[in-house]
Amino acid sequence: MNLFKGKVFVILGADSALGIEVIRALAPAEARIVASGEHQLSLDACVSEAMRHGSEAISVPLDMCSREDYEALLIQAVHAYGRIDYLILNTGSTFAPAFSDWSGIKASKQFFNRYVLMPVYAIQLCLPHLFRNSGCIMNLACSSPSHPQPCSAALEAFLEGVGFEMKSSEDKLQIINVPIENYDTKISARGVDVAARSAVRTLASRVAAAKYDSGIYLKFRRICSALYPKWLFDILNCRHCRRGMVKKMQ
């Protein structure tokens, strides 16, 4: 995946099993990885795994309820690599208690702060860099039928709304919600690996499609639409042909 060579990924929740597998999937592409999470030993393992496959990586431990830690994460990422291209949200809402178990306003604030508000704040912090580099936000929206996920659904809905806002503006920022079904603590190692690689492939496809749609191609499409009848232009620009071009770029 030459698309990601030298690109800077900030990964929240890199210390989870899914986060580690995402890093393992990205590492062969020679990406630059900023791995963040609450468990230092797991983050060290992430960095070692990334470097073993030829990527650059640093670890930034943080309290996922702390605004100051998120700000420090941004500072360290920019200091290390000078830019941010991708923000991956794997904030662990799968393990949040069911809403029926939330007791009182204090617990509600705690869970909402950790699983919704702080990821949104991370997006705000990274947004100027993502705009500058035509970057992307990818949210790993985990769910399990046996474990309701109101926080995950809230973050996913928020990002969908932001995505619609971005489409109506001139800012080139992609937002991707990647659903990971039936994800819970009992998922097999093989299942986590498949989910992570599928998420990275989805990201690569969207990035390749965006590149294909930008620059010279847009100008070429405008010229063709003026020169050719609509029915012929629709054939030349059909989505099946476009998918074939995207696969070649990957």
Most distant pair of Cα atoms in the chain: their distance:
65
pLDDT of residue 3: 84
pLDDT of residue 232: 65
pLDDT of residue 243: 45
Distance CA 148, CA 98 (A): 6
pLDDT of residue 248: 43
pLDDT of residue 239: 46
Distance CA 25, CA 14 (A): 12
Low pLDDT (below 70) residues in the chain: 1, 92-97, 143-148, 168-171, 181-190, 211-222, 224-225, 228, 230-250
pLDDT of residue 118: 93
Tell me how far CA of residue 123 lies from CA of 3, 41, 169, 204, 225, in angstroms: 22, 25, 17, 20, 37
pLDDT of residue 185: 46
